[in-house]
Chain A
Amino acid sequence: MTMSKPVETTRRQAVWNDPRLRAIVYQILVLGGVLLLGWYLVSNTLHRLEQQSIATGFGFLEKEAGFGISESLIAYTPADTYLRAFLVGVLNTFKVGLVGIVLATLIGTVIGIARLSSNWLIARLAAIYVEGLRNIPLLLQLFLWYSLINESLPGPRQALSPLPGVFMSNRGLYLPAPVWQADYGYVALALIVAVVLALLLVRWAHRRQDLTGQQVPLSLLVLGPVLGLPVLVFFVLGAPLQWSVPELKGFNFQGGLSLSPEYAALLTGLTLYTAAFIAEIVRSGIQAVAKGQSEAALSLGLPRSKVLRLVILPQALRVIVPPLTSQYLNLIKNSSLAVAIGYPDLVSIANTTLNQTGQAVEGIAMIMATYLTISLAIAAFMNWYNKRIAFKER
């Protein structure tokens, strides 16, 4: 009845030689093996936990934590729950991770460009920086920074003051900070208005260039309102500025912005270490742009600043962004080394939690889940950005 389709192939094949069948069998075997291993581990674990009468499940999160945390972005007391303690840890990880990413990108870009400088001395110094920091474990660098702050800086009473209002002591770094005033709302509003205005200006300038070929000094047009308008509003309001300056009271400084020694050491270590890697990425990205590109741009009569901005950077960014993403992820993951110098990040707090409750499986699951979420989120964002700047092929 099936005349059109031959039932048998011309050459008889043994069933076990059919690649599709084989593939299915292999996959069933592998999956079965993985599931069996998983079941074996889980059953062993459950048995062990039962034996040692350790509770399972995430019920402990509702219980009182009972331990103090040295620094926190949200209100926290030992009477709060484990869940809130964990949240404090997550926020502390973000506090060091995000600031670190911004600073490392800035420093790394500068060092990366410096490595390509035609100035022999600057290029050499940048190379020494990169080689020196890349080849020493981050953990050792963190210990070194921490001990430099802790042992080499004087106590609060003899604190170093490199700039007026800035104090460095073994209790941390203290900076003056402006106090929030009610009038600042208007300044913020002015800033928003200015940004909208600037965006409109940019659109107009692009359309004008498309139509007439005439260019507008865009950077001036954008910077003018964005910086000018808020400053204008600030002065119209009568410049309501009040600084909170750190002052020595009793045994330590009060007021201003303070960075704990742990935070300062962790941030310095993470930033400088990651910056060395970012510098190499930036360097190779710029080197990857063919020399003909800048020569062609120069021969068109573009000034050097525009060559860099309009020709080199857009092409270099395509090479830079993917490895840069993995450096950002590394920085976030490396921030877990905080536990070694006593900064209360999420690993440190989860570790305290699992030591207190004995619920190791849940504690480690929470650590891993949090890092995975952060990693996936950053990877997704950078993929989106990468797609946006990727080469548009027609």
Chain B
Amino acid sequence: MAESSIAPAPPTPEAVRPPATSVGVLGWLRANLFNSPFNSVLTVLALAALVYLIPGIVQWLLLEAHWQATPEICRAAEDGACWAFIREKFRYIMFGFYPLEQQWRPTLAMLLFVVLIGLSTQRRFWNRGLLLAWAALMMASYVLMAGGILGLEAVSNDKWGGLPLTLMLSVVGILLAFPLGILLALGRRSDMPAIKAVCVGYIELIRGVPLISVLFMASVMFPLFLPEGVTIDKLLRAQAAIILFAAAYLAEVVRGGLQAVPKGQYEAAAALGLSYWQTTGLIILPQALRIAIPPIVNTFIGLFKDTSLVVIISLFDLMTTTKTSLTDPQWLGFSVEAYLFTGLIYFVCCFFMSRFSQYLEQHLRKGRER
């Protein structure tokens, strides 16, 4: 061909090969760890710290750890973790005082949750059916937890505890906070000064105080609010406090989504003669919520972690069962193991949720950038 005559003679293999220090392992090391004197010093220092710390940690966590032992053996051997403690207390930490032979019920409820959460992460299932499935799951898990019908033994809610309770407080919290949060967000953007003032006041008041004070309010002030003879149990009061708290944060997230909807969308809807609620429900909210999904997931992560505060009003969620498992006089002094175990549960849940939110953010952006 004509081109082959123009092309220069192929160089010898020795000439094309890059220097050994810029490819392969050596090249990678040079580019990523030793690319400047300062970085080289940092690398050496970091490596030294790791070499100093990691063997001890591995030894404590795994090599010297006791997986099956009595408390006496655990206490005698000091340089290893006592995972036997977790083995002993596993059922209690996970389920609290839920009757032992009935614990398949919360387990089944949680499995259903996991399956539905798994389905919800797939965007092709995002439709009305998913909402119905969530509603059905809520009812099914309530029936499973409380019992009393379908031949299930009734379990009163002061026996509920552990991971199912944590999941319930956060999932029910965010689901029921949603409508309230949307209304507050719409109210905050309303042209009507009185409605705007009420919404801004509520949102800023709740966001300005710690969750603890709202929970305290639920535990000591709610009973005073109600007329005589009416009592609401502690779990429901805490759940109400969490919903009211989460609604204020969700409202701000939804408002962010609302602000991101271009003005032309409102104008186009108005030009079509749609009413306010038609515009909001059919045009604006679907777009705003789609934009707000990643921050909504982040709000949920925050709420999931924050439910651990119910330890302060002594509801037996995962945090409280962990803490009370430490008070067994037979098994005193294994708190680090217990907190690490529970921390791992929280970490796994939150880490995957945050990864999902990052994935969504990229995925949704891709659609908008096209």
Name A residues whose Cβ lies closer than 8 Å to a Cβ of B: 23, 26-28, 30-31, 34, 41, 44-45, 47-49, 51, 117-122, 125, 131-132, 134-141, 143-144, 147-148, 151-152, 329, 333-334, 336-337, 339-340, 347, 351, 354, 360-361, 364, 367-368, 371-372, 375-376
* Most chain A CB within a 10 A radius of its CB, from B213, B351, B354: B213
Q: Are B192 and A364 in contact (CB under 8 A)?
A: no
- Which residues in B have their C-beta under 8 angstroms from that of A120? 32-33
Bound CA–CA A51/B339 (angstroms): 44
- Which residues in A have their C-beta under 8 angstroms from that of B322? 140
Within 8 A of A (CB), among B1-51: 32-33, 35-36, 39, 42-43, 46-47
Enumerate the 3 nearest inter-chain pairs by beta-carbon distance, A residue then B residue, closest first.
Answer: A135-B350, A120-B32, A27-B194
**B228 interface hit (Cβ, 8 Å):** yes
- Which residues in B have their C-beta under 8 angstroms from that of A368? 205, 208-209, 213
**Interchain nearest-CB distance for B302 vs A (Å):** 10
A-B contact pairs, 30 of them (CB 8 A): A26-B192, A27-B194, A31-B198, A44-B224, A44-B226, A118-B35, A119-B32, A120-B33, A121-B43, A122-B39, A122-B42, A122-B43, A122-B46, A135-B354, A136-B346, A137-B306, A152-B336, A336-B213, A340-B311, A347-B210, A347-B216, A360-B220, A360-B221, A367-B213, A368-B209, A371-B208, A371-B210, A372-B208, A375-B209, A376-B208
Bound CA–CA A380/B164 (angstroms): 41
A121-B225 contact given A135-B354, A137-B305, A138-B305, CB 8 Å threshold? no
Which chain B residue shows the least CB distance to A46? B224
**Interchain nearest-CB distance for B259 vs A (Å):** 14
| Size of B's binding interface in residues, CB under 8 A | 55
Q: Are A135 and B347 in contact (CB under 8 A)?
A: yes
**B217 interface hit (Cβ, 8 Å):** yes
**Interchain nearest-CB distance for B205 vs A (Å):** 7
**B139 interface hit (Cβ, 8 Å):** no
Q: Are A140 and B43 in contact (CB under 8 A)?
A: no
- Which residues in A have their C-beta under 8 angstroms from that of B311? 139, 340
**Interchain nearest-CB distance for B360 vs A (Å):** 17
Q: Are B212 and A135 in contact (CB under 8 A)?
A: no
Name A137's contact: one of B42, B47, B210, B346 (CB within 8 Å).
Answer: B346
Which chain B residue shows the least CB distance to A334? B210
**B312 interface hit (Cβ, 8 Å):** yes
Bound CA–CA A134/B224 (angstroms): 37
* Most chain A CB within a 10 A radius of its CB, from B47, B209, B211, B351: B209
Bound CA–CA A368/B311 (angstroms): 20
Q: Are B350 and A136 in contact (CB under 8 A)?
A: yes
Bound CA–CA A51/B343 (angstroms): 45
Which chain A residue shows the least CB distance to B219? A360
- Which residues in A have their C-beta under 8 angstroms from that of B305? 135-138
**Interchain nearest-CB distance for A333 vs B (Å):** 4
**B335 interface hit (Cβ, 8 Å):** yes
Q: Are B213 and A347 in contact (CB under 8 A)?
A: yes
Which chain A residue shows the least CB distance to B196? A27
Name A371's contact: one of B194, B213, B217, B347 (CB within 8 Å).
Answer: B213
Q: Are A151 and B335 in contact (CB under 8 A)?
A: yes
Q: Are B227 and A337 in contact (CB under 8 A)?
A: no
Q: Are A336 and B212 in contact (CB under 8 A)?
A: yes
- Which residues in A have their C-beta under 8 angstroms from that of B194? 27-28, 30-31
Name A121's contact: one of B46, B216, B319, B350 (CB within 8 Å).
Answer: B46
Q: Are A41 and B32 in contact (CB under 8 A)?
A: no
Which chain B residue shows the least CB distance to A359? B220
* Most chain B CB within a 10 A radius of its CB, from A134, A143, A368: A143
Bound CA–CA A118/B46 (angstroms): 14
Bound CA–CA A151/B309 (angstroms): 23
**B342 interface hit (Cβ, 8 Å):** yes
Which chain A residue shows the least CB distance to B212? A336
A339-B346 contact given A151-B336, A364-B221, CB 8 Å threshold? no
Q: Are A333 and B32 in contact (CB under 8 A)?
A: no
Q: Are B228 and A48 in contact (CB under 8 A)?
A: yes
Within 8 A of A (CB), among B342-357: 342-343, 346-347, 350-351, 354
- Which residues in B have their C-beta under 8 angstroms from that of A137? 305-306, 308, 319, 346
Q: Are B42 and A371 in contact (CB under 8 A)?
A: no
**Interchain nearest-CB distance for A279 vs B (Å):** 14
Bound CA–CA A183/B312 (angstroms): 49
